Each structure stands twice: as structure tokens, then as C-alpha cells.
Amino acid sequence: MMTYFEDLTRDLYPGAEAPTLFFDRAWSYGDVENNGIYYHPQLTHYAHQAFEQFFYERTGLTYSDLSRQSPESDAVRTAHDPPIPRMTFPVEWLHQWMLLPMRAGDGYRIGIDTVDVAPNRVGVRAWVVNSQSQLAAIVIWLRAAVLLDPKRKSVDIPLWFPRR
């Protein structure tokens, strides 16, 4: 029997893998109102936490070490195979679809996948599914790649960037 994520992914992207699943949690009152309305910054925040976990599991590098300028972060980037320059993946565009109302106490799960859009752009999607396995929301970011040293410079998305 296929999971909801596998079924959803198969229907939307034939031949694609299911999104990588990350955390299960419940909305707090600070995340959603009791009338079912999301606080959209919270939705983006939790989706980004799932992306950071996805990034770490695929690269062995915390997302904060990627751009932080410190001896510790420099050492982590240098030790990576291949070594990674100090860089960032700025969001150029973000969209959220809130498909179902959710209330404080409702459980949800976030999955992440990526889509190569162009050599210098990648789409990152967070799939938010409620405890009844219904797609409740989607957050999509279009990200670019920017080297930070010696000066800010746009580049293509590196091959080591995590993909599903």
C-alpha cells in the first residue's frame, strides 16, 4: 500500500520519488487560530526547519555553517567533500497554498523535495499533510546560489546541493 506522499508524488510527477519526510508535530495556538487560519510566517518557519534538516541529512553541513563566518564554520566547510565556499541560497520567490483549515492541536507532517528549475535556480517544496493524510498546505521557494567571498557573486546551483 502506498503512503499518501508516494501516491501524491506519483500523480503529480510520474516516476518521481516521494518527498523526504521530516518531522511530525502539532500546531500550537501561536501557529494557527482556532478558526483554522494559519499564521503564514509560522508555516514558512516550520517548512524552513524541515528544509534545514533535509539539507543537513544530505550534506552533513548545517545550513547556518554554510554562510556563517567563524573559524568553526570555516573548518566544517573546508572538511566537506567537496570543500564548500562560504555561500548562501537566497529566496527569490516564495508562495504558500493553504488548502485546508488547521486548528491548534491538529497534527501534521512536513516533507521536502526539490526541483531543478534552471542551472542557477532550484525550487524547494515543503508538503504539509494533516493527521488524516490530506494535503493541507504547500510552501515553495525559488532559490538561487550566491558565493559570499571574496565578494558577493551569483553562481549556478552546486552539484552537492541536496536533491531528492
pLDDT tens sequence across 61-82: 999 999 999 999 999 999 999 9
- Domain residue ranges in the chain: 4-155
Q: In what order do the strands lie in the sheet with 153-155?
A: 87-88, 145-147, 153-155
* Separation of alpha carbons 95 and 133, rounded Å: 22
Q: What's the alpha-carbon Rg for the chain, to the nearest Å?
A: 17
pLDDT tens sequence across 41-66: 888 999 999 999 999 988 999 999 99
Task: Identify the burial level of 4 via C-beta atoms within 10 angstroms of its C-beta, where 0-12 means exposed, 13-18 middle and 19 or more buried.
Answer: middle
Question: Is residue 50 within 8 Å of residue 112, measured between CB atoms?
Answer: yes
> Topology of 4-155 in CATH?
Thiol Ester Dehydrase; Chain A (3.10.129)
